[in-house]
Each structure stands twice: as structure tokens, then as C-alpha cells.
Amino acid sequence: MIRITETIFRDAHQSLIATRMRTSDMVPVAKALDQIGYHAMEVWGGATFDASLRFLNEDPWERLRILRAAMPNTKLQMLLRGQNLLGYRHYPDDVVSAFIRASVRNGIDIIRIFDALNDARNVRLAIHETKEAGAHAQAAISYTKSPVHDIGHYVQKAQEYVNLGADSICIKDMSGILLPYDAYELVSRIKDAVQVPLELHSHCSTGMANQSYLKAVEAGVDILDTALSPFANGTSQPPTEAVIAQFINTPYDSGLDIKPLAEIAEYFEELRSKYVSEGLLNPKVMRTNVSTLINQVPGGMYSNLLSQLGQQQALHRLDEVLEEVPHVRKDLGYPPLVTPMSQMVATQAVFNVLLGERYKIVPKEIKNYVRGMYGRPPAEISKEIVQKIIGDERQIQVRPADLLEPMMHKIPSEIKKYMEQDEDELTYLLFPQVALEFFQRRETGLYKIDTDLWHMDSEDETYPV
């Protein structure tokens, strides 16, 4: 029997509408989703934390608590970027530990932990702290293709993560480039090598994901990530209803009922129309882009490129930038294109194209990466590139977080006056400027998650399913 993790409250809208779904749009249908029988609902982490504060004027911790109360029967899952947590740089161990404990305390059951470079040193602490907090630690392997990334490499990573204590493994195919027969072999070999559940997460960017899901199930994968149809396909996940339907009356039958899902989908169809009218759904993210099989650009990175080039009035140079991305990636030792590496490689590719000279300007994040501050690159960076980017500086060899001083309880007094809950300290440490602006709005009353139509104790369902 195959199990299903629903992504509509996290990765689906992150991939299609830049993480702009509001808590008030989730609440009316949360109780209905709680009755479906999903393996888990992915509701938090990734870009949701930053986007809630920066664009939606919402407290992400309050969102989590609301969803936890609304869905008491379903495990809630989040995505964590290892030592990066939900930010774009490494944080000290004390911050990582405190953040994970707070996440579990506020309602998270499963933490999917990954590192952009698949550097086990960067997920070790997060796995340990998740288990110590009493939650399920799932280690995700960022899937990519390069001369140094073969199936044996991924099998070795799965074994390494299980040895660190991972309760399950996820193959994280953020670009949708896992081909069907490769999926069959990869799943088969990982299942032979480790004795924990295996989950597959993919995107429909290249049109491969549905077929790869089918072959993965035949090879023994245990869990699939899907999104309800109004927020599926394109750069999102395969549609939940279709994935469930294709396994009905087979040994892989999920046991989930499509009828209530179809009714819930009607709600999200109306919601999708609203976001389309607000201009949040770029038609480009819905097309099948087979060029991704070559440049490996995932959906979030693609939308980021559109934004960067649009700001520079240079959208007409998108194809040049997409051609440059694989060259930058090769120069940097073939990092998987997942947050934060995807944003970093995208920015460098934009600079290289628009300035007409490669590495004329190098962002500080790329310099820190080459210094070793993000971890160990999958392949060695050539001496020529190292010299061009950081000159004669020495590259570090230790775990990057070993160089960081503890940060907890080092909040300036002028900031503390705005804090209303223990979690505010973590919010500030992750996103200082964005958090401060949010705290100030909250203090003036210009903040509210609109749940007036939702009454947890009412016998009447907000959404009749």
C-alpha cells in the first residue's frame, strides 16, 4: 500500500504562487483535509516562514498552531534546510537546537531535513535534535545529475543518513529530472541498502514525475508527495487525485477516497482563481519545460530568475542565463540546485550574462561557498575558479557551524521590547530586519490572521465535506 503526503499547504503554493497562500485561505478546508487519511500534511518550513513575515504580515508560529489545532488527526510535516534552518546561511548549533524544539512544541510531527550539498555534517545535529524532541527525523537526499552524482552516490548517502539516526529517507527531486527507469533503479537499490521507509518528492517541471512515481512504486517506494489538482502540475507536484486513482485495485492501493478530495479540490479551484486574478500565478510556471532536463533549474529557481531579470528589464535574456547556469554549476563543483544553492547559482549566472564578463562581480554568498562556509562541494572546485573568486584565501575543511559562536539570548534590548512570545527570539535570529518590521507592525495593531469565519468549537463545518 502506498502512502500519500499532501503538499498543498507548503510546497505546492511555494512552487506556483511564490508561497503566498494565506492562513485564512487554509483554515476553512483544514478540517476536511484532516479526515482524508493522509500519511502527512506538509504545512510549514521551506519558504513559508520568510514569506509569512515578509509578504503576508503573518506570524508563521501562529499559522502552525492554528493548523495543528485544525488537524489533530494528521501528522504535520515541515521542510528544514539542515544547519540553514529556514534561512539562507548556517546558524550556530544552539539556534538549530532551539528552533527544532520550538517547531515540535508548536505542532510539527515530521521534520524533513536536507542539506543543499548533501553534506552529512550539516544535517547531523538536526537529525539528533529532532529525535530528542520526540519527532520523526526524515533525511532528504537532494537529487541532481552530474559526473559525480550516480546511483551509488545516493545509496551511500542514504546509508550515511540512516547511520546518523534518520527514521526515513526522502529522495528530493526538486527539478523533476528523475527519469522513470532511473527512479526504479534508485528506489530498488536504496530499499536494498536501508531498512527504513523511503519517500519520493518530485516536481512536474519536465513532465517526468507521474511516470517516475509509477516506476518508483513498482520498485517499492513507501510514500509519495502529491498536491491537490488545482495547485498541482507545472513546477508543483503530481495531482493527488490522479496518483491515488492510478493505484486503485492494485497491490499499491492507497485506500484513500477520491470523492471527498474532489469536493475539497473545488474549494482550491476557486482559491486558485483568486490568486490568478491577483497576478500571483505566472503562466510560465505551468508549462512543461523539457530544457530543465539539461539545465536542471527547479521551479523556485526559475521564478527567482524571472524576478531578477524582470527587475533589470532583461527578461529577453532568460535563455542566455539558463544556458549559463550549467556552466556556473560545473565551476562550483556541481552543487545540487536547491535552496540556497539554487538562488546563489542563479544570481551568479545573471551577473555573468548581464555584465558580459564571467565572475566580474561575485556575490558574498558565492565567495563564502567557495571558502567552504556552506559545506563540502560534491566535486573539487578548480584552482583557477578558486583563485578568481577568493584569491589566495584558504578554504576551510571543518564543519562550517563549528566556526560559529552561540547566538541564543544575544538579542539587543531595543529588540526585546517587541517580543510577545518565546518564539519571537528565533524569528529575529533567522530574519532580523524582516522580523523587526513585523514586530513593529504587530505592536501597532497592523497585523491579524483573519480567521473570523472559523470557529474551532462550532459543530458547523466551515467547509461541508
- Tens of pLDDT along 354-371? 999 999 999 999 999 999
Average pLDDT along the chain: 93
Q: Answer yes or no: are the C-beta atoms of 107 and 367 closer than 8 Å.
A: no
Residue range(s) in the chain whose domain bears CATH number 3.20.20.70: 3-277
Give the C-alpha separation, 129 to 127, whole Å: 6
pLDDT in tens, 178-214: 999 999 999 999 999 999 999 999 999 999 999 999 9
Superfamily of domain 3-277 in the CATH hierarchy: Aldolase class I (3.20.20.70)
Return the ∠ at Cα 428 (arms to 422 and 430), rounded to 5°.
Answer: 115
Question: In Å, how far are 173, 179, 319, 338, 357 from 297, measured between CA atoms?
Answer: 11, 15, 12, 9, 22
Give the pLDDT mean for 236-249.
97
pLDDT surpasses 60 at 455: no
- What is the pLDDT at residue 305? 84
What does the pLDDT look like over 410-431, one tens digit per residue?
899 889 999 999 999 999 999 9
pLDDT at 444 over 90: no
The neighbour count for residue 202, using CB atoms within 10 Å, is 27
Residues of the chain with CATH 1.10.472.90: 284-402
The pTM of the full predicted model, rounded to 2 decimals, is 0.92
Least confident residue range of 193-202, 296-305, 332-341: 296-305
132 burial via Cβ count (<10 Å: 0-12, 13-18, 19+): middle
Superfamily for the 284-402 domain:
Conserved carboxylase domain (1.10.472.90)
Radius of gyration of the chain (CA): 21
pLDDT range class, residue 311, cuts 50, 70, 90: confident
